[in-house]
């Protein structure tokens, strides 16, 4: 059998959201996704996905298709699937950045490789470390009442960690957190709270909000409270509060991870697979975090089933990913998925059970692509 890449095709899929999604960076009622199909010389097909938001990543589904078609596909066609180091080197030497475009290709290659070897992707990148992955449920920017009601629903589904989107208005943010704390108390649940600022605060406001919430209750962590470029500001916040600080938008590459470790500005790293260059690069960053005594989680960029499955395999095979992950987020925010069995069907009691099928273990509903 030939493991060599014959074709790389990129498709754009647009899927409406159940409700408007609001965070400090943007709001949206529909999402575009770039779906990559890698075909080997023997006809094996692997699928990858990137779900970029322009404000967050500087890429769109349209730019991903352009970059893949004109720059990346030509420099990896003909290479063996297993040559991930060479494939990434060729892509990086051809065009700077474009991590989402490279991620979608990387994921598709892993899917095809797993199918070729009749092995799940986790067996190709370290082996199965955990069979179930604890999940975090994300609540977008909502009113106090809406947040309370959604928190009750989430707790009844068995989720033990809730992430709240903040970063617009410190007074409102504190009020919403207290509302969710009240929901936890009223329902007598042992549920932890994370905050995600999505770069919305200034340093002083971030410190003020975190300190006030620390005094009145526990916070599991605070994710990317300020602009991604302000790495020293993040260190200032970390030094001023007790709550662990998580880096997200700050981490797009192994070089970003190097700076985080050298400067000491975070305790936790959010590995978004379609943000950091795919599975191959995510495993590198996870290793760096482990060596530095940090921990990881895997976040969501509102991926559909293919991207969710890629995150699941990385989490299943990587010991340092000890924090509950919210990569399932896109499964309940979109009106429908593009895989035959929705990833939400694998979720029970706030955890996702890892599939042991070949490749990513998902089957594309190809009629939705074509």
| Catalytic center residues | 165, 272
Q: What angle do CA 18, 327, 352 make, to 5 degrees?
A: 100
Q: Give the DSSP letter string of 188-237.
A: T---EEEEE-TT-S-HHHHHHHHHHHHHHS--SEEE--S-TT-HHHHHHH
Torsion of the alpha carbons at 339, 198, 251 and 87, rounded to the nearest 10: 30
Structure tokens at 275: 């943000």
Q: How far is CA 358 from CA 118, 177, 313, in A?
A: 5, 42, 11
What residues are paired with 192 via a beta bridge?
A: 161
Q: How far is CA 225 from CA 198, 244, 349, in A?
A: 6, 12, 29
CB 124 within 8 A of CB 113: yes
CB 146 within 8 A of CB 83: no
What residues are paired with 8 via a beta bridge?
A: 38
Q: What is the DSSP letter of 19?
A: E
Of the candidates 291, 296, 304, 290, the residue with the CA atom closest to the CA atom of residue 276: 296
Q: What angle do CA 26, 283, 68 make, to 5 degrees?
A: 60
Could you count the other beta carbons within 10 Å of the beta carbon of residue 111? 32
């Amino acid at each position: 059998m030939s493991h060599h890449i014959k074709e790389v095709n990129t498709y754009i899929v647009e899927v409406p959201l159940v409700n408007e999604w609001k965070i400090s960076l943007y709001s949206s009622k529909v999402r575009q996704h770039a779906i990559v199909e890698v075909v080997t010389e023997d006809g094996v097909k692997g699928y990858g996905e990137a779900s970029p938001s322009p404000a967050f990543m500087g890429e769109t589904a349209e730019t991903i298709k352009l970059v893949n078609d004109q720059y990346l596909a030509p420099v990896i066609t003909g290479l063996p699937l297993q040559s991930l180091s060479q494939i990434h080197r060729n892509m990086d030497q051809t065009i700077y950045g474009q991590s989402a475009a490279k991620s979608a290709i990387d994921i598709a290659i892993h899917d095809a490789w797993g199918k070729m070897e009749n092995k799940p992707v986790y067996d190709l990148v370290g082996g199965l470390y955990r069979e179930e992955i604890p999940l975090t449920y994300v609540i977008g920017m909502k009113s106090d009442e809406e947040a309370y009601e959604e928190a009750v629903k989430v707790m009844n589904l068995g989720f033990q960690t809730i992430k709240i989107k903040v970063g617009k208005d410190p007074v409102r943010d504190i009020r919403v957190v207290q509302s969710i704390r009240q929901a936890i108390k009223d329902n007598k649940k042992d549920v932890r709270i994370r905050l995600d600022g999505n770069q919305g605060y200034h340093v002083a406001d971030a410190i003020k909000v975190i300190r006030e919430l620390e005094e009145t209750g526990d916070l599991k962590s605070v994710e990317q409270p300020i602009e991604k470029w302000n790495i020293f500001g993040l260190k200032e916040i970390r030094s001023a509060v007790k709550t662990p600080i998580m880096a997200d938008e700050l981490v797009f590459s192994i070089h970003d991870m190097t700076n985080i470790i050298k400067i000491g500005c975070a305790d936790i790293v959010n590995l978004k697979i379609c943000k950091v260059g795919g599975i191959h690069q995510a495993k590198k960053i996870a290793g760096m975090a482990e060596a530095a005594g940090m921990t990881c989680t895997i976040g969501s960029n509102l991926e559909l089933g293919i991207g969710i499955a890629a995150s699941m395999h990385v989490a299943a095979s990587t010991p340092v990913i000890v924090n509950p992950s919210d990569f399932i987020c896109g499964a309940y925010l979109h009106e429908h998925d593009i895989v035959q069995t929705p990833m939400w069907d694998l979720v029970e009691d706030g955890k996702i059970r890892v599939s042991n099928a070949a490749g990513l273990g998902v089957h594309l509903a190809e009629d939705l692509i074509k």
